[in-house]
């Protein structure tokens, strides 16, 4: 059976490019520039020149590159997708920008006809190749005195703006301003002195001012700092601009990436680790691979290692800053602490920076972990913000240092501290242990309170709570609701048992070994004047309402979740106390 070649519908291919490969038809000029620079590179000479002309509604791109013979025109320009022909001409070597390119096809995004006039530096007559969007082409004798190529485009209806002089000049500056060739648009120079980070300056201060101005021009902000980047294996150089304001870690960090000094894209993602959301980069890489659209980077081992190397560079900058400019480091940490915390989860050097320089919320005010441990050798930490807020004042009053580990990454960082120093002791707080720091009542007072305690226990017994009376600071707090981790476990187990079917309820019931010591405690503060008056009550009905009122207030002040039974008790005690406050003693109850 004879083999047959596929028939290519060129209009369908172009439609596929415009709808699914390229983000915008504006990339047509990048492809033309890319081909021109490749041709100059293939000629082997230093420098080279690309001239763009926009007169008369026609776009012309001239280069003094290697050019093509008639045979090469037939084999290269008329073949879609056959890379071996480019290999024969030398365009597949890594020195060239377009080794994965679609070539001239992108010009069909804006024009129905492409004209190429070329003369080979290897000899031969000039050739004119004309390609039509319908899928045909013709080759004829051309006119050109010097080796090189001229590509001419006439816009199709609706694409005139994309080939207008202002847009062409803007696209040339965007894509080609760093190219190592002379590039002009209608006689005006586009290329300058190469990448701004590689230019020479009289001193570091003037270089910094120049890079600040470059960042301002590109991104609209003056950077907090500038970090030089260099990854030799990827042929990468560039700069990272540290953002001067806080940003969300979930913000999409995109970067400006050049490949062999041709702009790949202005919004490339995945160049840096996810935690490095606090910088915006401009880099030029010679060895990283682009995707087929040349608008993103191809994920491979080289990109992985480059990403890790750039992350190391940012980490080294922070460590050096901690050693040379602590005040500047503190300013950075105030802006971008989440990124640094994320690094500290896996990097010991960054963990040391966080331990020494980053302030945490503590019961003694904002303070670094190292300083807090120095003041409180037996310090504790909480794993939630609510737990810290309800216990910090009480813990501080008892001389127990408390760190808030409830913010993003804080608990993980605290628990990792022994990795850098096994002597570090910072343990999680069990709220029930605070009662061991409270003052106990004298025997006489405790004996006198027994009738009250019995009545108070009856008032909250069905709520699963134990009532105790202690003497502690702050005196302004009438009562405190404390629950240990064991009590929390028993509460969760009880809720699961209530929600389970009969079989699982029996299984969970077998696990329930709760004791009174495991139950939450309502700790009434005998140092508080209101609490003392409540403990002197003798009427059972009033004791019920007052103790249940203290219970509800302690839950609310401690930001504890309210169960339906808690809400009902809180409402009943509030209304009952109002009735006691306004009732007429002469009116029968």
pLDDT tens for each residue of 269-317? 999 998 888 999 999 999 999 887 778 899 999 999 999 999 999 999 9
pLDDT at 91 over 60: no
Residue 17 has what pLDDT? Answer: 58
Q: Distance (Å, rounded) from C-alpha 228 to C-alpha 207?
A: 12
Q: How far is CA 402 from CA 360, 396, 555, in A?
A: 10, 7, 20
Q: Which two tokens mark 375?
A: 């003041």
Largest CA distance in the chain: 124
Q: How far is CA 353 from CA 345, 358, 367, 401, 418, in A?
A: 12, 7, 14, 22, 14
Q: How confident is the model at residue 221 (pLDDT cuts 50, 70, 90)?
A: very high
Dihedral over Cα of 420, 338, 296, 218: its sign? negative
HEC-encoded secondary structure of 133-199 = CCCCEEEEECCCCCCEEEEEEEECCCCHHHHCHHHHHHHHHHHHCCCCCEEEECCEECCCCCCHHHC
Q: How far is CA 57 from CA 82, 151, 165, 332, in A?
A: 33, 14, 9, 52
pLDDT tens for each residue of 155-183? 989 999 999 999 999 999 999 999 999 99
pLDDT at 133 over 50: yes
For 75-84, 139-148, 320-329, which range has the lowest pLDDT when averaged over its residues?
75-84
pLDDT tens for each residue of 448-458? 999 999 999 99
Q: Distance (Å, rounded) from C-alpha 375 to C-alpha 352?
A: 18
Q: At what angle do helices 27-43 and 165-176 cross, to 10 degrees?
A: 60
pLDDT tens for each residue of 363-397? 999 999 999 999 998 899 999 998 898 888 888 88
pLDDT at 266 over 70: yes
For 72-76, 266-270, 300-304, 583-587, which range has the lowest pLDDT when averaged over its residues?
583-587
Residue 317 has what pLDDT? Answer: 94
Q: How far is CA 129 from CA 69, 71, 140, 320, in A?
A: 11, 11, 7, 59
Q: How confident is the model at residue 97 (pLDDT cuts 50, 70, 90)?
A: very low
Dihedral over Cα of 347, 349, 352, 356: its sign? negative
Q: Distance (Å, rounded) from C-alpha 108 to C-alpha 17?
A: 10
HEC-encoded secondary structure of 505-551 = HHHHHHHCCCCHHHCCEEEEECCCHHHHHHHCCCCHHHHHHHHHHHH
pLDDT at 493 over 50: no
- pLDDT mean across residues, the chain: 85
pLDDT at 399 over 90: no
From the centroid of its chain, how far is CA 276? 7
Question: Is 463 exposed, middle or buried, given 0-12, 13-18 or 19+ CB atoms closer than 10 A?
Answer: middle
């Amino acid at each position: 059976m004879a083999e047959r070649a596929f028939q290519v519908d060129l209009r369908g291919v172009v439609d596929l490019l415009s709808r699914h490969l390229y983000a915008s038809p504006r990339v047509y000029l990048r492809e033309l520039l890319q081909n021109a620079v490749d041709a100059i590179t293939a000629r082997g000479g230093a420098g080279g020149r690309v001239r763009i002309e926009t007169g008369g509604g026609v776009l012309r791109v001239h280069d003094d590159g290697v050019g093509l013979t008639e045979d090469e025109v037939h084999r290269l320009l008329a073949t879609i997708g056959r890379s071996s022909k480019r290999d024969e001409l030398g365009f597949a070597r890594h020195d060239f920008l377009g080794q994965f390119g679609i070539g001239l096809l992108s010009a069909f995004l804006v024009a129905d006809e492409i004209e190429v006039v070329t003369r080979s530096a290897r000899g031969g007559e000039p050739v004119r190749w004309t390609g039509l969007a319908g899928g045909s082409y013709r080759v004829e004798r051309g006119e050109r005195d010097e080796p090189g190529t001229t590509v001419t485009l006439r816009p199709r209806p609706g694409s005139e703006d994309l080939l207008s002089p202002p847009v062409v000049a803007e696209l040339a500056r965007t894509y080609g301003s760093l190219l190592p060739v002379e590039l002009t648009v209608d006689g005006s120079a586009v290329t300058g002195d190469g990448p701004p980070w590689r230019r020479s300056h009289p001193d570091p201060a003037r270089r910094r001012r120049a890079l600040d101005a470059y960042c301002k021009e590109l991104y609209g902000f003056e950077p907090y700092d500038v970090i030089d980047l260099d990854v030799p294996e990827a042929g990468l150089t560039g700069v990272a601009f540290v953002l001067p304001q806080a940003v969300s870690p979930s913000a999409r960090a995109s970067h400006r990436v050049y490949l062999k000094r041709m702009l790949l894209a202005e919004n490339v993602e995945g160049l840096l680790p996810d935690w490095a959301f606090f910088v915006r980069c401009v880099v030029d890489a010679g060895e990283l691979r682009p995707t087929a659209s040349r608008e993103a980077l191809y994920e491979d081992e080289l990109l992985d290692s480059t990403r890790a190397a750039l992350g190391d560079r940012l980490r080294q900058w922070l460590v050096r800053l901690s050693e040379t400019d602590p005040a500047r480091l503190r300013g950075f940490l105030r802006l971008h602490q989440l990124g640094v915390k994320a690094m500290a989860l896996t990097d010991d050097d960054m963990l040391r920076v966080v331990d020494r320089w980053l302030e945490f919320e503590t019961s003694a005010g904002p303070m670094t972990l190292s300083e807090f441990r120095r003041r409180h050798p037996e310090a504790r930490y909480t794993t939630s913000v609510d737990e810290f807020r309800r216990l910090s004042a009480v813990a501080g009053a008892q001389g127990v240092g408390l760190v808030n580990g409830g913010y993003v990454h804080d608990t993980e960082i605290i628990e990792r501290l022994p990795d850098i120093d096994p002597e570090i002791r910072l343990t999680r707080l069990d709220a029930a242990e605070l009662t061991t720091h409270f003052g106990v009542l004298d025997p006489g007072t405790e004996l006198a309170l027994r009738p009250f305690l019995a009545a108070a226990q009856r008032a909250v017994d069905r709520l699963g709570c134990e009532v105790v009376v202690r003497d502690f600071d702050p005196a302004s707090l009438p009562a405190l609701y404390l629950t240990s981790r064991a009590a929390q476990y028993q509460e969760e187990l009880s809720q699961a048992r209530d929600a389970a079917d009969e079989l699982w309820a029996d299984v969970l019931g077998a696990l329930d070994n709760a004791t009174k010591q495991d139950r939450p405690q309502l700790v009434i503060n005998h140092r508080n004047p209101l609490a003392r008056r409540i403990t002197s009550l003798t009427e059972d009905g009033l004791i019920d309402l007052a103790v249940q009122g203290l219970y509800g207030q302690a839950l609310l002040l401690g930001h504890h979740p309210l169960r339906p039974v808690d809400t009902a008790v809180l409402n009943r005690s509030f209304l009952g106390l109002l009735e006691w406050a306004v009732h007429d003693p002469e009116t029968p109850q």
